[in-house]
Structure 1
Amino acid sequence: MIRSRIGAPIGTMCVLDRTARPEGLTRAQGDTLAALARQISTLVEHRRTLADVDARERELAASERRFRVMTSAMPQMVWTTQPDGFHDFYNDRWYEFTGVPYGSTDGAGWTDMFHPDDQAEAWSRWRHSLATGAPYEVEYRLRHHSGAYRWTLGRAMPIRGADGRIERWFGTCTDIHDLRQAVADARKLAAVVETSKDFIGLATEDGRIAHLNEAALALVGLPDLDAALRTTIADYVTPESREALEGVAMPALDRDGWWEGELAFRHFATGEAIAVLFTVFAVRDAAGRHAGYGTVTRDLRERKRAEEARDLLIKELSHRIKNIFAVVGGIAALSARSDPGARPFAKAFRERLGALAQAHEYVRPHSAGSAPRVGGQTVLGLMRLILSAYAEDGRCRIAVDGDDAVVGERAATALALIMHEQATNAVKYGALSNEAGTVTLTGRRTDSRYRLTWAERGGPPVPSAPTRKGFGTELAERSVTGQLDGILEHDWAPSGLVLRLDVPAETLRF
């Protein structure tokens, strides 16, 4: 029987001899066979040891291959260290991110990859983990292969043996730069929302309030967000505005994705109606699916009060200006009575003053009842009002047509003066000085310019352009350049004068 060193049987040794030995083996022969058995046992154990070592080596190699395959497949940067913190492995993600040569960051070379401002903190936490065995976690800026530093989350856990001692450290680095930037942007946006003076809110798809900022709670008199979460968008408008919300705003929101208009909110505590500019828009998730609604609402009460005060002041000024026109006209009439030689001048002056008064009356603020009487504040509307005085026996001798445009007070006074002078000259010398002549006044608008063309036909022949300009013409040209920033051209055609007034469309609104 052959036994191992610890006495376990591992086999049997058999010796064959050519001669029978009934007397048995001698002592020397027995010792020889025992020595031979021991030698065989030693050889068998040695072979088993070699086989076990080879198996372990193959197992270690396979385990290392599995480890490298696994770490190469991971999206994070993976690294390992010896128990003392000496870095001895990085996966491909590390080298792809940093762009450094393979092996160049082994040992302590990894610390040079951190932003200088982050190195002290990273080292401090790493030393603490090595000393205590506590998990390692820190955020730092890691140098990217582009040269920029990107925020990274570094983590490591100790791997312990059966006796509890740390055998290795296994760590990862995760690029969190975009996430960190998104969080910072979200915090900024949240700060803007919460500090905004406007009503800002979010609602779910069914219209229930999901969030309101502090300004929103204060505007409608709600005590806190919990109270707001029990309401819907419809709860905030007055009964008079609910029809506009449900019949106009929501259909437009479903169709166009947003709506803006004036509504009246109600104060939950006092019942006060609050004039607001209400904006509502659809909110969608990252996949483009409808996720609810956002609202931005501005309190219009101060603006409404300011508008009312302004309108009252403008009406008062308009009334006083109208009185001034009347007083100045009266003074001119008195001057004409006392001085017959001044009558022609006084008559022309009063007519010009009357044209300006008509223009002022046309663009001044009116009540709801008087607005239809003046026909609206447009260029062609003003022209028809001023030139209606030149109709004869119900026959309109000046035809007004073409593109229209909104007109403001300053532009209206200049246009009224120019067209009054032109009509006066036409009555004296041009197409309106006989019974057959006519005038067409045409408006044409482009993207940035507006042109009025005055064309006379059927009047006395025009021999040539006048050699000097009268006071009225000078006054009209100065009004065009000074008040309208425009151009006034006269074409003295034999068939009749053609006047072209070209101004920036923007100046007409003032």
Structure 2
Amino acid sequence: MSLVDLRRSVLPPARLASIPGLAVWEWDVVSNRLAWSDAQKQLYGVGGDPERGEIDFLNTVHPDDRTRVEAEIVAFLASGQAFDHRFRIVRPDGTVRHILDRGVIERGPDGAAERLFGINIDITAEIEASLVARRAESQREALTGLGETLRNLTDFAHVDVLGASIVGRSLDLIRCGFALASDGGKHAVIKRDWVRDASIRSGAGSYRASDYGHFLDPLLQGETVAIADLAADPRTSRVAAVWAEWDVRAVAFVPLLRNGELVAYMFLHSGQPRVWSIADLGFVKTVADRIWAAYEKSAAQRDALAVFNAVDQMIWIARPDGYHEHYNDRWYEFTGVEPGSTDGEMWNGMLHPDDQDRARARWQHSLRTGTPYEIEYRLRHRSGEYRWVLGRARPLSDLDGQIIRWYGTCTDIHDAKLKEAELRRATALLELIGNSTPDLIYAKDREGRIIHVNEAAARLHGRSRDDILGRTDRELWVSENEADAYVANDRRVLVDGETIEVDETHVGAHGVSRTFRSVKAPIRAPDGTVVGLVGHSSDVSEQRRQEERERLLTREVDHRAKNLLAVVLALVRMTRDDDPTKIRDKLLGRLMSLSRTHSLLSASRWEGASVRAMLEEELSPFLAAAQRVELDGVAISLSPPAAQALSMVLHELATNSAKYGALSVEGGALTVRWDKEAPTGAFSLEWSESGGPAVMPPSASAGFGSLLIRSIAERQLKGSVDYDWRPQGLCVRLFIPRLEQAAEEAER
């Protein structure tokens, strides 16, 4: 029995309907009855009322999949215990869904299929995501291929069709191309376009934009226009019939603006209504921009070729690999050779034999690095004479930075070379004078070529003077940056006619840097024209180093003075008492303590002060008495900021002990211990008094000395201070986790 002839009633058994959310079905093959769950009916867009009639399952399958699905069902019934296949369905509202159908088959004793149980899974989102991913990958590959094509393209005449074909095939269009806009976008001209096949007619021709809808304004603003359905969109519904004559149901336009004006736009024609995705339109925008840039560049190249032979200068063009493929008429007039005879590498044979290797090496260097080509060599004239020329070339790159052409010139400088010889003879006397000084004396012509150097300048370069003459700074200096700096200074003289005085740096072959004070002045012809420059450079390296040392010393003195004043001002602000005399005495005591610390720092050239020395200075009146003061600690040298901060703490402790503590009576004793932990650098100090007056904890607020100590220890040095008011004597413990770092940070 054919499956197409099977008519199956919708029977929703309770066991199917009771499984919410699952699109399951059951087919009783014997009775030819098919039961669907509610979720299954919802998936297929079928009403839930079983009394509505019968459903022909195969009629829900997409026409393109129907034959395959019928054959698969027949195969499943014939053999197997389970099945798994995929197909598309068309719901009553016209939407298409992708279905994964899985199930099992129950067979009778005779092996015949009696009942099928299955579940349908909607995999539309997965399929569409896969399609989007594949399209995105295809578009990335298309852009990569486009970049490669544009880099290697030599004929840009039909580059617009190349771009249109890439977009058209990627987006499955029927027609695509570029329209040139005029009259503010009101009119457009399509010179050529891409069509899917021969059944689609070309849209080449002239058009008025208003005849095809109202979408010009956003294009003028640089906005992409996308219309999913020409018949439904209010911008085009009135002229949908016009578009239908071209078999177009959906369109998109990507504008191309230059200097804020619409110059062209890329048009996309679809034979079916479609939603234009943001990703697809972004892809089109990228292609359009690249193609239009190449199109504009090709127009510029055509314009350049128009003047190629009109310039009174030898001009040549080479490929990225250095192959010389074009020369203008001036080249052939100068050399007298047949057109085409110097193509490729044959140009090198026109040079003087002594210049061929040097010119070839320089050219190969430019090809490898992309740096401009510039060299002087002797070129054979049509008379047979070798004349000096200046060869120059610059690369032309595409949008991706790849070199696509080299454009070069040859300038006859032979007469200038002869004048150089005369100028060298005239400098003989200057050479004798110049060689008697350790300073550098030199002269250069208008082109920056060295025409005179004294022996001191030759020694600087480690070359003979004959090896230097005729060369430029770019040929002599090891560092290109140095050469650029020297050339820039020379141009101020040669081009602007200035007399300048500047410092110039030279790094020798062994890396030793020297500073020269250079005075450069123009050499003028009788008519005032600048024909070169003369320079005098004195080695001022030691002078500049001394000046730098003085600047550093001045900054250091200024910095230390400011820090000291800040400390003094802080002490003044913090010293309080009702009695001016006491204020004076306290302030003098603290300043004297700070002064003693500065004396220690000065003695060490401000490299640091030891903790022991600071304690000995503060406790010097009591050290003479045997057994009164014991100092015990490791040798620690503190930086100036740390020493200044700690000196204030020690001074307050010593003053308090001398007035009220153990050092205020004959039998009192003091022990000070300190340490510095490795590798953390944590600093600890214990001040322990004994044998003094009875100690009582302060009953009211702490005194100023205690406040000062706590402020320095906790706020400035980020540490802690602990007071132990023992009956036998005060014990103060100071702990600073990061003494040096905290002091440096506080100073800043």
TM-score by length of 2: 0.28
- Greater helix percent: which structure? 1
The structure whose Rg is larger is 1
TM-score by length of 1: 0.38
Structure possessing the higher relative contact order (Cα contacts under 8 Å, 6 or more residues apart): 1
